[in-house]
Amino acid sequence: MSKDSEKIDEIFQIHENESREREKSQSFSRVHIKTGLLTAEEQKWADEEAAEEQELPQDRYHPIRRREETGTGCLRGILFAVFVLCISIVLACLAWMAASDMLALNKQSFTATVVLPESIFKSEIVDVKDENGVVTGQKSVSHADIGYLSSTLKQAGLIEYPWLFEFYCKIANADTKVRPGEYKLQSTYDYRALVQNLRPNAGSAVTVNVTLIEGMTMHQMFVLLERSGVSSYEDLMTAAAEYGFNYSFVEEPGEEGAQRLEGYLFPETYNFYANMQASSTINKFLDEFNSHISEETMAQLEEEGRSLRDVVTIASMIEKEAADDEERAEIASVIYNRLDAGMVLGIDATILYVHPEHEGAPTAEMLEENSPYNTRRSAGLPPTPICNPGLSSLEAALKPASTDYLYYALDTETGRHRFFTNQEEFDAFVATQDY
């Protein structure tokens, strides 16, 4: 046999031995199916294998380093716990800061003035529903610009976080609760107290006392109210022309414009809120006027066939003409007597109404104007009252003296008027006066 053949046989022999060893290993690795025990041959082989494994060098094995992995897992757990703790601390700090601002905790005590102009409010008409959801009517709801409000409070130092205050306002519907005006607010007010005190009937509203005297025109009153910080002239004129006031004696908004209120702005000393809503300001005048017009008065006018508007117009002329309370009823009698006789009234104060900037007696050019307010040329009453009369003039217009007077003229010596039944006596007296 050649050497090559010997090598081939040797290789085949090795292969067969390895195959037998594998078969033994597979069979020895299983418990005997029937008995559950190893045979003697199988037990011997297993013991030999175990002895060989004990003799093998340790560097052949690569055991799992459980101790090192356990240490890494603990470190990761600690780091996660620290991370969670840090996040919790940050969130707790933010929550405390938010709560401190919302509840006004630990704030230095001071007072700040806040002004909410009428321009930041918008109105809308909404349905009014009963308990069953049935629409029973409509009402006007005013909404404030919450962004402007939060910014204003921030600038005043009353809040720290405008976004948080705006969130609160959305939840509390604060935009419908606050009102225009000027307010003095305490830094110790929480969010709820701030909203509650941003209303005219709250104790924080700044008030202004204004005295409006008899005989002032609407224009003069509105100018004074603007100067006093109550409402702007422009807003007052707009409300006078367009707002629907709930009084039977006030005409609905129309062609007459703001003049529909002339004569009904009752002169008195009022306590207004600073930067008050214009319609609310005017409503105080109208409410006061209404309080002086009783049901008996309205019944009297209806019986006499006169309108309240005519009475107020006559009262406005009496207010401009009378020197004192004693002669008001007599001047009223002259006006009524001339109206009944179809005569022109000839009261110069009426033409001055359309020339509010003019001072003194009317000029010759004014007296020649073709105007319904020129009562030297136009018969009857002027289109509107020429001022806002006081109570004495209103009473005189309601209860004129019973006389035959058709003329009156100012006595420059006494400062009072003289009354006449005919033009001859009137002209003779006027000739003695230096007007």
Q: In this structure, what token pair is assigned to residue 357?
A: 């900037």
pLDDT in tens, the chain (435 residues): 555 556 666 665 666 666 666 655 555 444 444 455 556 666 666 666 666 655 555 444 445 455 555 567 788 888 877 788 888 887 877 777 777 888 888 888 999 999 888 789 888 888 888 888 888 877 778 899 999 999 999 999 999 999 999 999 999 999 999 988 889 999 999 999 999 999 877 878 888 899 999 999 999 999 999 999 999 999 999 999 999 999 999 999 998 999 999 999 999 999 998 888 899 999 999 999 999 999 999 999 999 899 999 999 999 999 999 999 999 999 999 999 999 999 999 999 999 999 998 988 899 999 999 999 999 999 999 999 999 999 999 999 999 999 999 999 999 999 999 999 999 999 999 999 987
Domain boundaries, the chain: 82-129+137-205, 207-291, 309-431
CA atoms within 13 A on the CB side of 173: 4
- Please report the DSSP string for 162-189 in residue order: HHHHHHHHHHHTGGGT--SEEEEEETT-
CA angle (300, 302, 308) in 5-degree steps: 85
Amino acid 6: pLDDT: 64
Do residues 281 and 208 touch, judged by C-beta distance below 8 A?
A: no
SS3 (DSSP) at 144: strand
Q: Which CATH class is domain 82-129+137-205?
A: alpha beta
